[in-house]
Amino acid sequence: MTSPKDNLEVPSPRKASESGQTHRRRGSSVGNINVGDTSPSLSTMNTTKVQRKKSDARLLALSKDSQSDVAILKKMVIAFNELSYRHTWIKPSILLIIAFSTYYLSGPDTKIHSCLSAMIVPSYKIEGTDQYGKGVNDFYFVGFYALVFTFLREFLMCFLLRPLASYLGITKEAKLKRFMEQSYSMIYYGTSGPLGLYIMSKLPLWFFETLPFYVEYPHKTHDLLFKSFYLGQAAFWVQQSVVLILQLEKPRKDFKELVLHHIITIALIWCSYRFHFTWMGLEIFVSMDVSDFFLATSKTLNYLDSPFTGPFLIIFVVVWIYLRHYINLRILYSILTEFRSVGEWELNWDTQQYKCYISQPLVFGLIGALQLVNAYWLFLIFRIFWRYIVGGVTKDERSDDEDEGDSESSEDESKKTE
């Protein structure tokens, strides 16, 4: 996933040859957990040579004298491009300002207000109740808040997490980027996990009960908080997947596993929402988000060389096994034992009753595929846990790639953060 401690000492070839051996130094393997890493943000991606050349060209153009009004306007455009290149939150923020301003300033009966309303606020309020239905406008809502997450992530990266990393003494660019990504994960999952638990506690699902999935199926409507949370999760994963799949940076060692995980997650979100298995989806969200919070925290402590890294690693492993395996396996078992026997069992498109012979293997297959990815990651976790216990050289296979990218772009990155 991310690199281990980047300050491991490597004896020079000359000293090694003089001593006749290469000394091993004990280090932490926690940063070497290639498990469900968050996708890179725009501000933590390695810049390419083309991007650096364009930036140098813009700086050169800005240094030239400008006599005419047209030349000054051109300089303003160049300055904006360079500023938004350094501060990746600017362009998303402009789009959001335009959208919100237009929405609040336009009349409620205008077409543009109606279009923006579908994007900004949940649709399909059922009159006389606190429930919301589902429809095509939910796609617009997810797309818009994927943009919101893009702005929020980049803003936090530039104004909070990068200065925080510098304040905490993280200077190496590759390590700083990974610290920023994991710190953002801590913020997101530290919010979504407790919120999901709160929503679950208000339903008959506490504590990870499975029978209510089927007793009251189908769950065609939800209150505002539930619907906003569910679609917000979809927006988060869409934003993550777009950055990852477009390969806006050099793919990491676990790229294929990450892509597979993101595809399965989005498929689960859409299918569970469309076919009314949202109560089951909520429990899976909680199991993922809470365990991801402990994962991100464990890795962040490692980047800070914290003395709590080891004890917290043990806590993380226990939480991961309980939520990602015990709870998910219980859900899979319920699909085999309760899916058919509890509640209605038929395919009826008119009543939107989809708990039937078709959906059972599909639901089991998607959650089972997610469990296979989790099992592979559990193997990596146990391997890192063992290495942490026995000690020795701890080398992250990905760290070489990160260091190469860092050496190539360190000058540019320092320029971007001036």
Segment 83-136, tens digit of pLDDT: 888 888 999 999 999 999 999 999 888 999 999 999 999 999 999 999 999 999
- pLDDT tens digits for range 381-409: 888 888 878 774 333 333 334 444 444 44
pLDDT at 80: 85
pLDDT at 47: 66
From the CB of residue 78, how many other CB atoms can be counted at a distance below 10 Å? 16
Q: What's the rounded Cα separation, in Å, for the pair 150 and 40?
A: 11
131 bridge partner residues:
223
Residue 353 DSSP code? B
pLDDT at 315: 94
Report the Cα 182 to chain-centroid distance in Å: 9
Cα–Cα–Cα angle for 390, 290, 362, nearest 5°?
A: 105
Q: What's the rounded Cα separation, in Å, for the pair 286 and 289?
A: 5
Q: What's the rounded Cα separation, in Å, for the pair 88 and 77?
A: 16
pLDDT at 248: 54
Tell me which residues of the chain have a pLDDT lower than 70: 1-48, 246-254, 392-418
pLDDT at 38: 61
pLDDT at 37: 54
Spatial CA neighbour of 87 closest among 308, 415, 376: 415
Q: What's the rounded Cα separation, in Å, for the pair 33 and 360?
A: 33
pLDDT at 325: 96
Instruction: Provide the sign of the torsion angle of the four alpha carbons 269, 370, 324, 32, taken in this order.
Output: negative
pLDDT at 142: 97
Residue 212: asked if its preceding bond is cis (omega within 30°), the reply is no
From the CB of residue 169, how many other CB atoms can be counted at a distance below 10 Å? 8
Helix residue ranges, H only, 87-136? 90-105, 111-120
Residues 147/92, Cβ–Cβ less than 8 Å: yes
Tokens encoding 340 = 């058919």
Tokens encoding 345 = 């069992």
